[in-house]
Structure 1
């Protein structure tokens, strides 16, 4: 189910973050503050020595599920906007705009290595993904038991499942069986 990572691609970073919770197996890669700190450090969002607390963990979970909901909305009309839960999570993150680079950028208020700064860098990746044109292509699998995040690279942006051979097949088989069950004999 995992997509290949392109180094530095903000869309794939966001999908990777959403996929820290595997809905199907109910495994959470950032279930503890230490795991969250480790995940952020592995991706270069915070220094290896950065710690995380319970409040950071709650903020990460809210951000992750808000992103999952926003990516789910990418299957529908593009006017959907951000879900309220994601708006609330983003509002709690310490971000500011800087004009020091070649273009304006969102950066953490506190550039030190806190988990909140790492989560703020994840939020900034949303804007980087928008700028790269990949934000509307970030989706979650429409199979209710999966909900895996992926980057829709199809030409017409119509991909619905993380894997046609697994989740697409499950959905189509379920629909086929339902039609056969109700069909007159």
Structure 2
């Protein structure tokens, strides 16, 4: 069964079309369940990708592959390492963009190399008034090919000015696309990091009040 990448998809947390990937197809990533890595800025981040089977499950939840393809995919540690390397390279590239820093050349080279691999494995097909990437087969890289394509689409077509790093610097530093009209969004999720930041501020005020009291 063939699948196509490039069509507008609804972000599972925001409920509206996600224009491109940022680090994980969309800022919510891993669909409505979880990201492939949480708490990146903490001393003990939680990585959910421990095996190739975990990668396939994440790819299915993130809508990178359909159910029929997910059943067929099989790979080992090497395929998992490649996917994790791509994930980290994408994070380094877009977090630098979100902060206005220089993009690490080594990370950009990884993204470019994986994009070339994905492009070589797929082909363009007409859809509506444009074209999308079409993938078939069951090679281990099938789980992350659409991610590499989406990352380069965002790099080359933008909107890079809307790439942001979550303001919850104490734990999250996740990436997201700010689709608000005035680009005022600061948190990757309103029900998660925004609430956590509010609770942190409340706790800080109480601590300050006790110290002054």
Normalised by the size of structure 1, how large is the TM-score?
0.68
Q: Which residue of 1 aligns with 2:74?
A: 51
| Structure 1: stretches of 5+ with no match in the other structure | 181-185
CA distance in 2, matches of 1:113, 1:134: 32
* Matched length: 179
After TM superposition, give the deviation of residue 26 of structure 1 in Å.
Answer: 2.7
SS of 1:159's equivalent in the other structure is: coil
After TM superposition, give the deviation of residue 152 of structure 1 in Å.
Answer: 1.4
Which one of the candidate residues 8, 11, 21 is aligned to 2:37?
21
- Structure 1 residue 141 and structure 2 residue 170: aligned? no
Q: Which residue of 1 aligns with 2:109?
A: 87
After TM superposition, give the deviation of residue 90 of structure 1 in Å.
Answer: 3.7
SS of 1:10's equivalent in the other structure is: coil
SS of 1:91's equivalent in the other structure is: helix
CA contact (8 A) 2:36 2:48 kept: yes
CA distance in 1, matches of 2:75, 2:16: 27
- Structure 1 residue 166 and structure 2 residue 186: aligned? no
Instruction: Output one character per residue of 1:26-71: Cα deviation in whole Å (capped at 9) or x when no partner.
Output: 3223221111022223424260221132112111211112222223
Q: CA RMSD in A?
A: 4.0
Q: Which residue of 2 aligns with 1:11?
A: 21
Q: Which residue of 2 aligns with 1:116?
A: 141
After TM superposition, give the deviation of residue 135 of structure 1 in Å.
Answer: 4.5
**CA gap 1:149/1:86 in 2 versus in 1, 3 angstroms:** same
**CA gap 1:103/1:130 in 2 versus in 1, 3 angstroms:** farther
After TM superposition, give the deviation of residue 151 of structure 1 in Å.
Answer: 2.4
Q: Which residue of 2 aligns with 1:60?
A: 83
After TM superposition, give the deviation of residue 99 of structure 1 in Å.
Answer: 5.0
CA contact (8 A) 2:165 2:174 kept: yes
CA distance in 2, matches of 1:21, 1:44: 17
CA distance in 2, matches of 1:144, 1:72: 15
- Structure 1 residue 150 and structure 2 residue 179: aligned? no
CA distance in 2, matches of 1:166, 1:58: 33
Normalised by the size of structure 2, how large is the TM-score?
0.61
**CA gap 1:170/1:91 in 2 versus in 1, 3 angstroms:** farther
Q: Which residue of 2 aligns with 1:183?
A: none
